[in-house]
Chain A
Amino acid sequence: MNAFRSSEQANTLTRRHLLKLVGISLVGAIAGACAPKAEPTAGAAAATEAPAPTKPAAKVAPVKITAGAWAIATYAELQGESYKRFSEQSEAVDVEWLQMPWADYWTKMTTLLAAGAAPEISLYTPETFLDHAARSAIRSLDSLIDRDGYDLSDFYKVLVDMSMWKGKMGAIPAYHSPIVCFYNKTILSEAGAEFPKETWTWADLREAALKATDADKGIWGFGLEREMWAPIIWSNGGEVWNDDFSASRVDEEVFVNGLQWWGDLRNVDHVAPSPAEMADMKTEMLFQTGKLTMVFHPLSRSIPWVDAKVPFEWDLGWAPKGDQGRSLRLGAGVWGITKDCKPELVDAAWDAIKWVSGPEEGNIWAGLHINVPARKSVAESPAFLDTPPPESLGIQLEMMPYARMPYKLPGSSEWWNNILSNGVILVELGEEKAADQMQEVKKLLDQWLVDNPMSKWTELV
């Protein structure tokens, strides 16, 4: 024994050594957690997973890719089914499904893209497709389309145009959601008001709303759904931007008058509930409870009252005409391959997209009425049209020639959702007149263009 150490000190030193080991282990664990993840290999997949019972025996282990999308309400669990069916029938590809609520999806996607770890495939709206395409976060599909001779003619042209950026195809349409007029037939009949018809104008809509509104019964004629004011302005020839996106046009008379008319529905005519009167309920909830006679919505919003089997008759109606014809806002979903998809996985991702966008999957989804099929052959088939409610599903297809996506200008989360919407809200609340407010908005929008010139936007990868 060391003459300069007592047995007690020897024990103390042993405990210290133990503490050192614990500390070093913790450091090692942290370092291990921070290490970059290992590259996926087909061999590893084969070693750790048993193949699905229905898959044919694979000679080569399938590659794994990930497809991501936000959840669509009630049918969230069905969304991944398309990719699951693809994986089951594919010998070469396994698709993992990544899904989360809308509010979180884009924050997560952007963060994953920054880290180079985004899913290989993602669903996009028109706006998010633009934002990502213009920042080179989506791959061009032109070479794949040309190589395989992929036929785009079955898709609605407006959706194909929507999936392009700077002349290149960046995505394949999955579905679309024209904003149409939902109306309560029971209320309109009892009020002696006309049903929406092909020749309807905005004045006719106002007339019907006035007749249907009954303050004593708490029934409103029309619901001001946020961002649904645009068709009024477009159908009368107004626009937010000029053609080359060099200046804003929100201060023009046609824009100002259209917006003021929209706000007056609530503040002057009192046919639309105020935000206070809506008591935090969305317009689709008011419609479902029979308190709202007419509202503009995409078809997917009808799911609650279809499921609930509401005690009134309802249907889809024509969007009203303006001086320059008819115009309605188009919502849609498109599948794209992200920039983080490695070159060796692009073909796998492309095969998966072709499957989920194909007519077979389209027919499965057609009868669910979550959205309108992107393919004409499916949308115009009995699979979609002969499965009411509503009775007039076909109106959506008849209105397709008038459907448009807002604008092919990236950054709408700022210039539309924030700058423009903040101005519109003040008019809707009756706090400001459209003429005054749009002067302020124009300054901000024009400044935004200066800060974000068209030269800032790059091409698809």
Chain B
Amino acid sequence: MKGVARIQKRATATKRGSLLRHERNAAYVLILPNVLGFLVFTLGPLLFSLVLSFYEWDMLRPMQLVGPKNYQRLLFGDPRFRQVLRNTVLYVGLAVPFRTVLALTLAVALNQGIRGTTFYRAAFYMPTVTSLVAVSLVWRWIFNPEYGILNYGLTSIGIANPPMWLLSRTWAMPAIAIMTIWYRAGYFMVIFLAGLQGIPEHLYDAAKVDGASAWGRFRYVTLPMLSPTTFFVIVMSIIASFQIFTISLIMTEGGPAGATETIMLYLYRTGFEYFRMGYASAVAWVFCLMIFALTFLQTRLQKSWVYAE
């Protein structure tokens, strides 16, 4: 009896193990296409570009090993890279804070339960789903210093010499930032809205009982409870903003005189127009490490201001 029970127990364990093995194998097979795609189209090129960054390659002739020369030039001897880095940082510094504040403001407003919330939510989100190329072209017209509606509005309220916007080295990048703030605010507004709706109502009730004003409830309940969402929004917004390419290409082609040339646009031109794929790869990796370092720093700093339950 004991022996039969032992055999039956072993058989059951074997059956379970065999079943688990089959299911595991099926799972591997199902994710295999995705993994293969990642290896072939993402990780492979990534590693190749790392290797390439130590070579000089114009895509038309064999590669030549130059060692760290590309990195040395990039970090210590390329004034143009410093210029595009400044342009990109300026853009990020303008776009991210204002876009975050605007998205939060819209989300808070929509969270009040006013009439037409659904309509407003769709309206604010609409730019995000519109073609970026089409939006860029329309905003080029809006920013036209002579015929654009923006300067028409500014002159009608008494501003005598409105900016030249995309035709001015000073105002071109702020103009692009204004456009992207409008374009992407809706996307982050939806994220904030989801975060707001996750804040327990009893916290607001408790604050009211303690005599907190609306501003007090916002400052001491909403903001802290929303901090994980805010952290996510800021990190994603910074990463996306650093990679700006299409907008500066279409609206200004990086001009006037390189004032809106961003790192991604510089990288693209270096590789495909100037035939310096090795150097472009070095730019890409330095850029990647910069974003990684910035994200790491933010992750470390989050402990000081992000509320974790």
Contact = CB atoms under 8 A, between A and B. Distances in A.
B146 A425 contact: no
Given A423-B257, A429-B256, A9 B36 contact: no
Contacts of B273: 106, 413-414, 417
Contact of A19 (B11, B26, B274): B26
B40 interface: yes
A4 interface: yes
Which secondary structure characterizes the binding site on chain B? helix
A250 to B, nearest CB: 15
Contacts of A186: none
B256 A458 contact: no
A418 B256 CA distance: 11
B255 A425 contact: yes
A350 B58 CA distance: 27
Nearest to A431: B169
A11 B194 CA distance: 43
A298 to B, nearest CB: 21
A122 B275 CA distance: 18
A388 interface: no
A135 B40 contact: no
Interface string A1-27: 000110001001100100110111011
A286 to B, nearest CB: 13
A426 interface: yes
Interface string B89-130: 000000000000000000000000000000000000000000
Classify chain B: how many residues form its interface, as a range: 35 or more
Contacts of A23: 26, 29-30, 32-33
Which secondary structure characterizes the binding site on chain A? helix
Given A13-B22, A280-B140, A4 B58 contact: no
Nearest to B273: A413
A132 B36 contact: no
Contacts of A417: 273
Given A23-B32, A276-B164, A132 B37 contact: no
A202 B15 CA distance: 95
B74 to A, nearest CB: 12
A405 interface: no
B258 A422 contact: yes
9 contacts: A12-B22, A20-B25, A30-B33, A30-B37, A110-B59, A113-B59, A113-B60, A136-B61, A429-B256
Given A20-B26, A425-B256, A135 B275 contact: yes
Given A26-B32, A30-B37, A275-B167, A16 B256 contact: no
Interface in A124-139: 131-132, 135-137
Contacts of B257: 422-423, 425-426, 431
A451 B141 CA distance: 39
A12 B15 CA distance: 13
A38 interface: no
Contact of B26 (A16, A135, A274, A426): A16
A-B pairs with the 10 shortest C-beta distances?
A: A23-B29, A114-B59, A276-B146, A135-B60, A276-B145, A422-B257, A137-B60, A414-B274, A26-B33, A413-B273
A277 interface: yes
A60 interface: no
Interface in B23-48: 23, 25-26, 29-30, 32-33, 36-37, 40
A44 interface: no
Contact of B60 (A114, A422, A423): A114
Contacts of B59: 110-111, 113-114
B83 to A, nearest CB: 10
A411 interface: yes
B246 interface: no
Given A23-B33, A34-B40, A113-B59, A413 B164 contact: no
Interface in A404-430: 411, 413-414, 417-418, 422-423, 425-426, 429
A107 interface: yes
A435 B26 CA distance: 72
A9 B19 contact: yes
A276 B169 contact: no
A418 B58 CA distance: 18
A110 B59 CA distance: 7
Nearest to B137: A280
B33 A279 contact: no
A16 B23 contact: yes
